[in-house]
């Protein structure tokens, strides 16, 4: 009999939130507010979109000298720096998720990352996407070109091309993972508003290519419905309800993520 893996670090109770489309600062503020208000033994799964084309940069990514406010403005693109690590992503025709869970300090963050990615994989397989978890071990730095240039170990791929780009952050006993499930490959647009990459970006996998008979709205609905089934199989799912202090926390975080100094700090 083979050895079983470590027990899942994910909670059995989930708050489910199908949020709307927002600006970059609001989206990042919301995810950070969820991280700051994690409840013991309860996770939150949030789905959301973007009010306009937006580029998000990793928490520690160096963008000064590579991108500029002027170039982004000319391109008509919003910009925000994430609370999580990783590198630049272009957000527009995609399905965006975030997961926030309690995670005791004794539990390695990778256990949560792997568990969430397995849930994402399961929900994609259920809708007919021939997805896999990558076994590639690519060296990654926060100052590399863009998120979708190559899959890292454990990321979700289709025919070795990345379909889901995720970023993570751990804060005390809480963990945030959020990312983009591409409907269409808009990532090459990053090269039109910043310093060019050393080589052309390889094409990313997309839901539209995997399931071409469906509209974008139908693809979103199918994945979200599949996701809820998968999460419900793990435990109890309830609707997200904001607490008494939620709006104050969200306003505080919005001021931070809308701050020009935070975006262009390095």
Enumerate the active-site residues: 147
- Give the three-class secondary structure for 131: coil
Alpha-carbon gap, residue 171 to 190, rounded angstroms: 29
User: Which residue, among 263, 223, 260, has the nearest Cα to 94 in the 3D structure?
Assistant: 223
Alpha-carbon gap, residue 182 to 193, rounded angstroms: 20
> Which tokens go with 139?
């060296």
Alpha-carbon gap, residue 57 to 44, rounded angstroms: 23
Beta-sheet pairing, 94-102 with 174-182: antiparallel
Alpha-carbon gap, residue 241 to 238, rounded angstroms: 9
User: Hunting for tokens 């084309």 — which residue is that?
Assistant: 53
Beta strands in 103-182 (DSSP E): 132-133, 156-158, 161-162, 164-171, 174-182
């Amino acid at each position: 009999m083979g050895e079983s893996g470590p027990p899942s670090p994910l909670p059995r109770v989930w708050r489910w939130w199908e949020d709307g489309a927002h600006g970059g600062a609001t989206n990042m503020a919301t995810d950070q507010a969820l991280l700051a208000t994690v409840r013991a033994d309860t996770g939150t799964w949030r789905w959301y979109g973007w009010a306009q084309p937006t580029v998000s940069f990793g928490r520690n990514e160096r963008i000064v000298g590579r991108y500029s406010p002027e170039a982004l403005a000319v391109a008509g693109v919003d910009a925000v720096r994430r609370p999580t690590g990783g590198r630049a992503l272009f957000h527009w025709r995609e399905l965006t998720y975030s997961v926030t869970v309690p995670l005791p300090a004794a539990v390695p963050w990778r256990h949560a990352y792997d568990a969430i990615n397995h849930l994402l994989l399961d929900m994609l397989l259920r809708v007919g996407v021939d997805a896999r978890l990558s076994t590639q071990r690519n060296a990654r730095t926060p100052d590399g070109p863009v998120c979708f240039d190559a899959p890292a170990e454990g990321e979700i791929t289709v025919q070795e091309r990345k379909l889901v780009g995720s970023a993570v952050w751990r804060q005390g006993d809480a963990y945030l993972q959020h990312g983009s499930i591409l409907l269409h490959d808009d990532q090459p647009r990053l090269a039109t508003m910043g310093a060019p990459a050393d080589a052309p970006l390889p094409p990313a996998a997309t839901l539209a290519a995997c399931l071409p008979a469906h509209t974008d709205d139908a693809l979103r609905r199918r994945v979200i419905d599949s996701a809820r089934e998968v999460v419900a199989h793990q435990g109890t799912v309830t609707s997200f309800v904001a607490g008494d202090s939620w709006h104050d926390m969200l306003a505080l975080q919005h001021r931070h993520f809308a701050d020009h100094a935070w975006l262009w700090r390095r």
